[in-house]
Amino acid sequence: MTTISASERAAREPARSRCARRMHRLAIPLLISGGLCLGASSVAGPAQARQADAKVVDSTRHGGRSVAFTFDDGPNPTDTPHLLEVLRKRHVEAVFCLWGDHVKEHPELVRAIVAAGHTLCNHTMHHDDMGAWSPEDIRADLERTSAEIHRAAPGVRIPYFRAPNGSWGQTPQVATELGMQPLGWRLAVGDWEPPGTDELVRRVEEGITPGAVILMHDGGGDRSQTVEAVDRLIPSLRAQGWHFTSPARRG
């Protein structure tokens, strides 16, 4: 057995201490990052599900003279960027209900929506009518749509789900189990026709009610009239005492 002198032990000890301190410093970030991952996982799973219920919401969080703008069927490379610029200029945050096929085609627009501070909503993969679908088929579609959204914008929250054409069937319960609040509307302005910018402005100003969620579109066709209407509506509604907010998170 080799005998180590006291002087050699004294010389080696600082090296051991330095090594231990180095390992300690490396371990702390790993532990912290592991804890953060666990925390994020729990928020995205059961905790988020507890924040939703199966009742379809059509009102804002606080009611009163508040309104929530929501836009379906995007992203659309022609009109979504213009809408984002209008909302940025007017300092309004909205909900974008994303069509999975369009997300797959234009992931950069999903990132632009998120970067601008807007909220996302799962609007199914192919915009199918799910009124008669089984829970298993609904779940597969919603999970695939959310996966496409997360592929475009990793880690982003998707707090809402909206059924295409308002054909809910068994989708509310499935969406709730996935942590998404079913999101309806109180006023649909019919911009899919499209009827003209003046008519869209009139429909909103005459049809708005306190706490309303309003359904419009930034995808699925030419939505330039909708973008122009939104640009006119925001200052007009503000002048009438309305303020812009988010939909409720529970029914």
pLDDT over threshold 50, residue 204 = yes
Please tell me the predicted confidence (pLDDT) of residue 101.
98
Work out the average pLDDT over 163-190. Answer: 98
According to DSSP, the β-strands at 66-74 and 95-98 are parallel
Please state, in angstroms and rounded to a whole number, the distance separating the CA atoms of residues 120 and 110. Answer: 9
Catalytic site residue from 72, 73, 141, 218: 72
Q: Is 81 helix (H, G, I), strand (E, B) or coil?
A: helix
pLDDT over threshold 60, residue 129 = yes
Q: Is the model more confident about 25 or about 55?
A: 55
Please tell me the predicted confidence (pLDDT) of residue 50.
57
Please report, for residues 21, 110, 235, the alpha-carbon distance to residue 113 in angstroms, rounded to integers and kept in the order given: 44, 5, 21
Note if 150 is an active site residue: no
Catalytic site residue from 79, 127, 217, 231: 217
Note if 123 is an active site residue: no
Q: What digits encode the pLDDT tens for the residues 52-77? A: 999 999 999 988 999 999 999 999 99
Please tell me the predicted confidence (pLDDT) of residue 51.
74
Q: Which of 37, 47, 41 is nearest to 179 (CA)?
A: 47
pLDDT over threshold 80, residue 49 = no
Please state, in angstroms and rounded to a whole number, the distance separating the CA atoms of residues 10 and 32. Answer: 34
Q: What digits encode the pLDDT tens for the residues 130-170? A: 999 999 999 999 999 999 999 999 999 999 999 999 999 99
Please tell me the predicted confidence (pLDDT) of residue 179.
98
Q: Which of 185, 189, 184 is nearest to 226 (CA)?
A: 189
Neighbours of 202 (CB within 10 A): 14
Q: Is the model more confident about 28 or about 44?
A: 44
pLDDT over threshold 60, residue 251 = yes
According to DSSP, the β-strands at 95-98 and 160-161 are unpaired
Please tell me the predicted confidence (pLDDT) of residue 90.
98
Q: What digits encode the pLDDT tens for the residues 35-47? A: 333 333 323 444 4
3-state DSSP: the chain helix, strand, coil percent, rounded to 5? 50, 15, 35
> Would you say how long the chain is, in residues?
251
Work out the average pLDDT over 9-15. Answer: 42
Work out the average pLDDT over 80-97. Answer: 98
Please tell me the predicted confidence (pLDDT) of residue 63.
86
pLDDT over threshold 80, residue 34 = no
- Whole-model pTM: value is 0.81
Q: Is 69 helix (H, G, I), strand (E, B) or coil?
A: strand
Q: Which of 53, 98, 59 is nearest to 185 (CA)?
A: 59
